[in-house]
Structure 1
Amino acid sequence: MAGGPTGRPEVSSILAALGGAAFVWDVASDGMTWTDGAVSIFRDIEPASLATGAGLARLIEPSGSIRADILRATAHERRPGEAVAYRIEYGVRASASAPMLWIEESGCWFAGADGKVVRVEGIVRLENERRARDEQLVRLSQNDALTGELNRTHLTAALAAAIEEAARYRSSFAFLLLGVDHLARINDAFGFDVADEVIGDIAKRIRARLRGGDVLGRFSGNKFGLILMNCTSDDMNVAAERLLAGIRDEIVPTRSGPVSVTASIGAVLAPRYARTADEAINRAQEVLEAAKSRRSGSFAVWRPDVARDAQRRTNIRVTDEIVTALNERRILTAFEPVVDARTREPAFYECLVRMRQQNGQFLLAPDVVPVAEKLGLIRLVDHRVLELVIAELAAAPGVRLSINISPETTMDADWWAAIESLMGAHPGVAERLIVEITETVAIQDIDGVREFVTRLKNFGSQIAIDDFGAGYTSFRNLRKLGVDIVKVDGAFVQNIASSPDDRAFVQTLIDLARRLDIRTVAEWVQDEQSAVMLRDWGCDYIQGQLIGLASPARPWSGSEAVPAA
């Protein structure tokens, strides 16, 4: 480093060592004087281009007047000789093909007698590394790390902007949600790294099939959102089929070998059928799920549906009614007798849900349970029914009762905590409780249901499989589960007097169950002839219209059931 006459380093040398350079700009003559460090900052730029303010302005992108603009903006009513600080950033290029050099310039300008700028003194620094870091941070905040496409937040923002623009200019566009089918299977079969490769490859295929103005983003793990600008309904259909074919027809090469995948698409036209980003997303997701449930690799478009909208309004109303009924203790039980097939003496009573409306009328289980299951309220209903049934068992020591449990409740930790607490508070009731689970639950998760059965049997309770025959549970699985009772689906029982096929099916079920030492209940018994046939085949219990339908009155005492406190 060079030193001055006193042995101290020169300012220009210090600046150069720190990666900076100083200048003085005489505005009247437009001449600029630089320290030596300017050569290393403005690489490959001719010194003549830096000799004047106008020459530097011609190099600046995107606006060559940025320096003059900042000076004009701060030049109002200044006193002569007053110094005004400023700071700006800009990019310069030696040529159109040269890389951009990002410059940070800070300094002061000085006012003349008329208050206008007469001289500028400043320092410039090369900020390429900081700029690159900033741009990387921006990219990370806006883009998905795996695919490089927009992340969900910025995709949603782009969708909102597209809706606003389309409404302003009376144009239309399509919003598509593309979901990779069965990605979980790829995760299980090959690992998450291979699934990531599949996602990355599909993103490239989608991008290659989009137009310049279209927008692509990763919506979630296996879903992409696409905004197809200036798109009609016909254009949307063509684009969707092209996208699906591009994914379906080409194998994805991965480090673990080739993987074949398909995708499904749900789409909505906006702003005609979606006036907000949330509405567009919800409707696209709705039809995407419908497409997937219909067939993998398919395409569905959202359209207005009067019946669907009416059903949703009903769901909202019934949801409110169920919650209110729970709060007001208007969820009750009715008791349907199950009798010995030989003696016709009551063996136990099945407890069925009833909801007393505010007008005094009752909604039956088929009106309450399916809606409660669909809307996520069934666990609350099942909790309430459990409380009622345990209270009945505690109040009537000689009675046996059964309750139906929804699929969600079988794995509900809160339900287990409740039953453990109630069993502890009322010794002796567990042995008189029968818990019924549907066959469809049993076949979906054999191991999970076996654990459920084991825990309940440890309390002393018995387990029944309801609606047996409606699904595909094998008798091998029945033995594996260790159930005590099989209830034969009433759809087969109700016609055994007139249908040879139903007779053969029911008789075979009863015979196989008896060989496995599992007791049987025939549901929906409607006539004496059927009851006699069932008895002769060895069926243990029967229930249905012939025996007596469910009633809120306690059959063992003649009084009506009331909510437990």
Structure 2
Amino acid sequence: MTTPLAQDTVGRTTPVIGPVGNPAAGTLGPRRPQSSRDRDRFVGFAFAAADLLIETDALGNILFSAGARCRLTKGEVGGLVGTNLMEVVAPGDRKYVHVLFERIREKARIKPSRVLFQACDGQQFPALLGGCRLDSCPGSLFLTVLLTVPPRTGSAGPAMQGELLDQTGFAGILEERLLAARERGADQGLTLLLVEGLQAMVEAMPEGAAAEVRDGIDAYLRGISTDGDSAGQLGGDRYGIVHAADIDGREVQCHIAQIIEAAGGALPGGIRSWTLDMADDRLDPADAARALVYTVQAFAAAQGGEFTISSLEDGANRLMAGAVERIGQLRATIDNRDFIVVFQPIVDIATGAVHHLEALTRVDGASSPADFITFAEDVGLIYDFDLLLTRTVLDTLKEFRKEPKLPDVAINLSAKTLMSPIFLKQFQSVVAPYGDLAAKLLIEVTETVVVTDIAKLNGVLQKLREVGFRICLDDVGAGSTSFQSLYGIQADYAKIDGKFVRGAADNPRDMAMLRSMVDVCRQLGLKLIGEQVEETVHAELLTNLGVSLAQGFLFSRPSRDFAYFAKDWSRVRSGGRILLKG
């Protein structure tokens, strides 16, 4: 019997192995040899995992291609044979793909990594490129291409073509990778890399050589990173990489040194790395990710000798250990409600009557309330704490709800909390059980300076205003609330930073700034509150500027005694003023 020939997707004739059975006869025919069945089985597995199968030589010349019709060629994918793979890779990713080829030759196999391809119409699109080599086929690389790339699930967006992630993007991908590694049991590591003097060296090199160094380092770090998109430049000479556990710091240092040497560079400093096993289970996955992100951010922001060639490992280990301990303590504080709430009144300067209270937190063992809140913001636990504070204040209001003059209370919510995509739903679930008592809350927004999308924050705040919550912007004029925030957010109140209130009494420049802030806020329809009013002269100054509300030690120190403020002041107030020094 003659064996028929079939056309494969490359356009070449391939023998169909084994006799062909007669379907009409109701038989499958003789079984094919086991070797043929094994071959077909592996081909089936390959196509189940990828859209394209490509074989290239060591230079990237395509020897074989099979699979679905795609945008890389106008005709059948077999038309790719005889071309070079780099012709269909986006120019900015070609050096990176060369690194992936080197990784295949070194490691025998790489997991799929994100690569930007260039379609025959010039459009670029992402795909996953994986590959391996076989000892039985020397000189060949066997590649898989998955054309449908899963969307990013974390907060980090993809870097531009050929670029590393920035610090924010890397922090997002780091958290995503750690959570995924814990969930799937994957073995991954984090390496922080310090190339001391790199920025100065590159700036002194000819442009061509400088580009070789920059592009070479970027391509190499992307090439060793998980999925090809888990490397970031955290500063001029600082990098972070999430990678497979079989990569160690010495290997990374050696490759970076080779790239610099090949471009004719002479590094004035040295190269140092710190690698951490991300499987450390001292914290739950979410808090472990927070500790890692905090360490990376501190590494990126460190100045001078804080992280040097000799101290990188010690410094990073110390930071990581400290972050793990502090996050554990912070988590315990939240879980056990191990904090107290104190209240300080905002008063009408003319009458001394309580306008509303501000709820402030105190935590035993914390160096200061500000440090506690700042650390909670830095490690991403401020969201949990803010919602717990909201519930705690509402519980207090509920306890005293029968008081005829129950005061309104301002709660501080971080802009980071407000920007969370699930905040509104979670906040509503917290306040809903308290009914009308929720209307007693004012929302005081802190740290708006960290927000890059003021319009988005304003959208969240307007939804809160629509259901009756009043909004107050904290520390106007200071670093935490910029004039950009002031113009971009519609609010009801604005608190003038206390340093301007205190300074204006003696400093004409501070007085000029204070007048400007008062004028701007008044034009925007905001009611003003002066902070840190400690002396009569401060209160008089605010009154002369038309600011009617104030907060500070002149009127009362913060107190745990909510009952004191919940009294009917129309009957118990003496001389129209309150005074609580304890």
TM-score by length of 1: 0.52
Distance 1:495 1:408 in 2: 30
For 1:119-518, list aligned pairs within 5 A.
132=64, 147=94, 148-149=97-98, 198-199=161-162, 217=223, 219=225, 220-221=228-229, 223=231, 235=257, 238-239=260-261, 268-269=271-272, 274=275, 303-305=310-312, 309-356=317-364, 364-397=368-401, 398-438=406-446, 440-441=448-449, 444-471=452-479, 478=486, 481-518=489-526
Deviation at 1:193, TM superposition (A): 5.7
After superposition, give the CA deviation of every residue in 1:463-497 in whole Å (9 maximum; x if it has no partner): 01111012497879646632111101123223222
AA aligned opposite 2:229? G
Alpha-carbon distance in structure 2 between the residues aligned to 1:149 and 1:287: 32
Please give the alpha-carbon distance, in whole angstroms, between the structure 2 residues aligned to 1:522 and 1:458: 26
Instruction: Give the whole-Å Cα distance in 1 for the aligned partners of 2:505 and 2:340.
Output: 35
Partner of 2:550: 542
Offset, 1:350: 0.9
**Change over 3 Å in CA distance of 1:86–1:454 after alignment to 2:** closer
Partner residue in 1 for 2:533: 525
Decide whether aligned partners of structure 1 residues 362 and 344 sit closer, same or farther in structure 2, where only a CA change above 3 A counts: farther
Please list the CA deviations of residues 212-261 of structure 1 after superposition, one character each: whole Å capped at 9, or x if unmatched.
xx99826333848799969779957944986899xxxxxxxxxxxxxxxx
Assess, with a 3 A threshold, how the Cα gap between structure 1 residues 288 and 238 changes in structure 2: closer, same or farther: farther
Cα distance per residue 1:15-35 (max 9 Å; x no partner): 8x779xxxxxxxxxxxxxxxx
Which whole-Å CA distance do the structure 2 matches of 1:425 and 1:329 have between them? Answer: 19
Which whole-Å CA distance do the structure 2 matches of 1:436 and 1:228 have between them? 49
C-alpha distance in structure 2 between counterparts of 1:196 and 1:403, whole Å: 38
Counterpart check, 1:556 vs 2:519 = no
Q: Do the aligned residues in 2 keep the contact of 1:462 with 1:483 (CA within 8 Å)? A: yes
Task: Give the secondary-structure state (helix, strand or coil) at the position aligned to 2:565.
Answer: coil
SS in 1 for 2:350: coil
Q: Does the 8 A contact of 1:523 with 1:544 survive in 2?
A: yes
Structure 1 gap ranges (5+): 1-8, 20-39, 42-84, 89-127, 162-182, 184-189, 246-265, 559-565
Among all aligned residue pairs of Structure 1 and Structure 2, give the percentage whose two residues are the same amino acid: 20
Q: How big is each residue's C-alpha offset from its partner over 1:72-122, in whole Å with a ceiling of 9 and x where there is no partner?
A: xxxxxxxxxxxxx9989xxxxxxxxxxxxxxxxxxxxxxxxxxxxxxxxxx
Indicate the RMSD between aligned Cα atoms, in angstroms.
5.7
CA distance in 2 between counterparts of 1:403 and 1:417 reads 18
Q: Which amino acid aligns with 2:377?
A: E
Taking the aligned partners of 1:527 and 1:433, their CA distance within structure 2 comes to 28
Number of residue pairs aligned between Structure 1 and Structure 2? 375
- Note if contact 2:521-2:527 (Cα within 8 Å) is conserved in structure 1: yes
Query: Do the aligned partners of 2:221 and 2:231 also contact (CA within 8 Å) in 1?
Result: no
Aligned 8 A contact 1:468 1:489 in 2: yes
1:167-200 deviation per Cα after TM superposition (whole angstroms, max 9, x unaligned): xxxxxxxxxxxxxxxx9xxxxxx99669999429
Per-residue deviation, residues 27-82 of structure 1 (Å, max 9, x unmatched) = xxxxxxxxxxxxx99xxxxxxxxxxxxxxxxxxxxxxxxxxxxxxxxxxxxxxxxx
Paired residue type of 1:395: E
**CA distance in 2 between partners of 1:344 and 1:234 (Å):** 67
SS at match of 1:546: coil
Cα displacement string for residues 143-181 of structure 1 (whole angstroms, at most 9, x for unaligned residues): x995434559968995999xxxxxxxxxxxxxxxxxxxx
* DSSP 3-state at the match of 1:368: helix
Secondary structure in structure 1 of the residue aligned to 2:223:
strand
Distance in structure 1 (CA, Å) of the matches to 2:456 and 2:337 = 32
Conserved in 2, the CA contact under 8 Å of 1:152 and 1:217? no
CA–CA distance in 2 between the matches of 1:512 and 1:243? 54
Q: Distance in 1 between matches of 2:497 and 2:214?
A: 54
Distance 1:457 1:530 in 2: 31
Question: So what's the TM-score if we normalise by structure 2?
Answer: 0.51
CA distance, structure 1, for counterparts of residue 538 and residue 162 of structure 2? 58
How much does 1:448 deviate?
1.1
Distance change >3 Å, CA 209–CA 366, structure 1 → 2 = closer
C-alpha distance in 2 between matches for 1:244 and 1:191: 39
Residue-by-residue CA offset, 1:390-410 (whole Å, 9 max, x unaligned) = 222333342110011112211
Query: CA separation of 1:396/1:274 partners in 2, compared to 1, >3 Å: closer, same or farther?
Result: closer
- Shift of residue 457 of structure 1? 1.1
Structure 2 residues without counterparts, runs of 5 or longer: 7-13, 16-32, 37-56, 67-77, 79-83, 111-115, 117-121, 127-157, 165-207, 233-240, 242-246, 281-288, 568-582
| Residue type of the alignment partner of 1:386 | T
Specify the structure having the higher radius of gyration (Cα): 1
For 1:541 and 1:303, locate their aligned partners in 2 and report how far apart those are by CA, in whole Å: 54
For 1:191 and 1:505, the matched residues in 2 are separated by: 53
Distance in 2 (CA, whole Å) between partners of 1:329 and 1:200 is 44
Q: Is the 8 A contact 2:414 2:447 kept in 1?
A: no
The question of whether the paired residues in 1 share the 8 Å contact of 2:476 and 2:486 is answered with no
Alpha-carbon shift at residue 550 of structure 1 (Å)? 2.1
Amino acid corresponding to residue 436 of structure 2 in structure 1: G
Cα gap change, 1:286/1:321 in structure 2, threshold over 3 Å: closer, same or farther? closer
CA deviation digits over 1:400-425, x for unaligned, max 9?
10011112211234432233234432
Task: Give the CA deviation at 1:523.
Answer: 1.3
- Looking at structure 2, the residues matched to 472 and 430 of structure 1 have their Cα atoms a distance apart, in angstroms, of 26
1:503 is displaced (CA, Å) by 1.8
1:160, 1:276 within 8 Å by CA — same for their partners in 2? Answer: no
- Distance in 1, matches of 2:348 and 2:522, equals 15
